[in-house]
Structure 1
């Protein structure tokens, strides 16, 4: 009974920490979008998009409102995007993305995480060339022909268009075409609810880790996820459980 309670307690703590991380991420993203394009979602498409994504991820309304109100109240915080590239055990690679208001603090968090997991940071470009960055839009409500017509009418080129087993349409395009693809679909399907709506960083090749290599990689991921300023970690380890299922 005691052991089960402790396991449950640890699981709940991990879930709470993950939620806090998500709320912090969206808080910064919403603040940046509102500061850059104005705090009115009806007039700021980027802000509206990130708010919609936040709601899908079950971010509480007060987190969204607080981020927007900070801009309305004249907050002057500036966040800077940082990307770290590194090498884990046995051919594993990672891209760590941060949005921070203190670069030195972020570096002091990320560098020790790699060191403690017997991994190492690489120079800019040392890992990113092994990944593809792409816009991915997935939704239901149109067939392939109708979707293609929508993209043509919107003067948008897509890299790939496919129908999934559940009938969803999945569009892959250049990151620079992200908003244009969405607007083209919305023009054809005004009430569309995007199931996937994001810029993805995807490895061109993957590796599988076992034994001590996996233990070290898990340690690295846990340390990075504990870093306040780390928002996203992309990697090429196909058999690592990112813990999405709770």
Structure 2
């Protein structure tokens, strides 16, 4: 009874921690979007996308509005984006996207995570041959004919469309489009009345590193440290499942 309670308590704590990190990351996206193109989603496509992603993780509306209001204050400092590249133990490539108001803090933290887990940071651009940037869109398959959509969306930059299972065990349709066609694809999907669950730029590996179960545990230690850092927006790796 006691162990079961503690297990449920730990799982709940992890869910809340993950949610808090997601809210922080999206809050930064909102701030950067507002600083760049203003507080109105009707005329700011980046802000419109950030709000869409906020809804996807159930970020409260008042928090979204508060982030927009804060960003509208001219005295509020903005954020800078930096990408760090390196290798985890056992040859697994790691790419880290960060958004920060303190570069020294961020690079020191990222470097320490790699060092403490026997990884190593590399030079910018050193992993360009491993990761490819793509535009990613997710939505509920519903009654949509994905084969028909595949044909109709080619001109909007479609590269592939497939179905995956999310953390809740629900089916989600995923579209990958060319990096430069993010706006074209988003507009095409909206014109077709498709309600997006998420829209973002991601990086996908072009090659994979195969590791043992024990080696995967070593890599996961680094991934967890990076994922928990509030300056980190996204972490990508090429470890084969």
TM-score category (smaller protein) = 0.7 to 0.9
Superposition deviation, residue 54 in structure 1: 1.0
Candidates 191, 211, 234, aligned match of 1:232: 234
Superposition deviation, residue 163 in structure 1: 6.5
User: Which residue pairs with 1:120 in the alignment?
Assistant: 120
Q: 1:24 to 1:162 in 2, by over 3 A?
A: closer
Tell me how far apart the structure 1 counterparts of residues 134 and 37 of structure 2 sit (CA, whole Å).
23
Q: 1:163 to 1:113 in 2, by over 3 A?
A: closer
Tell me how far apart the structure 1 counterparts of residues 119 and 75 of structure 2 sit (CA, whole Å).
38
User: Which residue pairs with 1:244 in the alignment?
Assistant: none
3-state SS of paired residue (2:36): helix
Alignment of 1:66-81 (within 5 A): 66-81=66-81
Any conservation in 1 of the 2:56–2:197 contact (CA below 8 Å)? Answer: no
Any conservation in 2 of the 1:144–1:161 contact (CA below 8 Å)? Answer: no
Q: CA offsets per residue over residues 100-140 of structure 1, 9 Å max, x none?
A: 11100101111111111011111112223211111133555
Any conservation in 2 of the 1:96–1:232 contact (CA below 8 Å)? Answer: yes
User: Which residue pairs with 1:210 in the alignment?
Assistant: 212
Q: 1:10 to 1:144 in 2, by over 3 A?
A: closer
Q: 1:11 to 1:75 in 2, by over 3 A?
A: farther
Q: CA offsets per residue over residues 9-47 of structure 1, 9 Å max, x none?
A: 222221111111000000000111111111011121221
User: Which residue pairs with 1:27 in the alignment?
Assistant: 27
1:184 to 2:167 alignment: no
Any conservation in 2 of the 1:137–1:198 contact (CA below 8 Å)? Answer: yes
Tell me how far apart the structure 1 counterparts of residues 41 and 236 of structure 2 sit (CA, whole Å).
29
RMSD of aligned alpha carbons: 2.6
Any conservation in 1 of the 2:146–2:161 contact (CA below 8 Å)? Answer: no
Any conservation in 1 of the 2:53–2:197 contact (CA below 8 Å)? Answer: no
Mean Cα deviation higher: 136-145 or 7-16: 136-145
Q: 1:131 to 1:150 in 2, by over 3 A?
A: closer
Tell me how far apart the structure 1 counterparts of residues 116 and 104 of structure 2 sit (CA, whole Å).
19
Alignment of 1:36-185 (within 5 A): 36-139=36-139, 141=144, 144=147, 148-149=151-152, 152=155, 156-158=156-158, 160-162=159-161, 171-185=175-189
Provide the TM-score with structure 1 as the length reference.
Answer: 0.83
Superposition deviation, residue 215 in structure 1: 2.6
Superposition deviation, residue 195 in structure 1: 4.4
The aligned length equals: 233
User: Which residue pairs with 1:9 in the alignment?
Assistant: 9
User: Which residue pairs with 1:243 in the alignment?
Assistant: none
Structure 2, unpaired ranges of 5+: 165-169
Superposition deviation, residue 143 in structure 1: 5.8
Superposition deviation, residue 48 in structure 1: 0.9
Any conservation in 1 of the 2:150–2:161 contact (CA below 8 Å)? Answer: no
